[in-house]
Amino acid sequence: MKKQFFVTGIDTEIGKTVVSAILTEALKADYWKPIQSGDLENSDSMKVKSLIGNSKTVIHPEAYRLNTPASPHYSAALDGVEIKLNAIQLPETDNDLIVEGAGGLMVPLNDQFLIIDLIEKLALPVVLVSKNYLGSINHTMLSIEVLKQRNIPIAGIIFNGKRTPSTEDYILKYSGLILLGRLEEEAEINPSIIEKYAKQIDTSVLNQSSLPLTTPRSF
């Protein structure tokens, strides 16, 4: 069965793109960023393509490419478009798939819907990226709580940045989540670094078929 996951974070600038590249490389999966806000000349799709080394991955085109680096709802408004959830459909592929979100779970897409609504619509389990900083326990636990309230399965968590055992141990113990990996502070992110971490991912743990997937909602 295909493995398909939605990579989200506890905030913006948490390391979702790097984690997405690592998971894409580990699974030799396809990659898809549904909504790109700003940085169109150096998009997350372009970054992932430059970081992976396998020849199997297909980078699927974004559903929305917005010009301003801002919340998708605001960036779309500036471009004179409205993001419509029904227009965002999973790309057709026989390969595994990594989907990368924009910002955190409660980032607005339009006047009605948030990133978490998109996750629920696509009915994908989540890989949650957490980064250690003052307040990250609160942000991480809130993200986990809202995912559980929506009955969205969480495949596991990846910690990024300087290791803080007291923080990580508490989150893992309290939440009961599977630890999928840790990313240390790196001077540079390049294909060799991505390959190093990809080899550390236990892909057998990423077993979508064992997860209680939610039923897609109508929007």
How far apart are alpha carbons 204 and 206 in whole angstroms?
5
By C-alpha distance, which of 92, 114, 84 is closest to 102? Answer: 114
71 and 99 in contact (C-beta within 8 Å)? Answer: no
Identify residue 207 by its one-letter amino acid code.
N
Catalytic site positions: 33
Helices (H) and strands (E) in the chain, counts: 7, 9
How far apart are alpha carbons 87 and 83 in whole angstroms?
8
How far apart are alpha carbons 88 and 120 in whole angstroms?
12
Listed in sequence order, the DSSP H helices in the chain are 16-27, 44-51, 72-79, 115-122, 136-149, 165-175, 191-200
Left (φ > 0), alpha (ψ -120 to 50) or beta: where does 80 sit?
Answer: left
Identify residue 173 by its one-letter amino acid code.
K
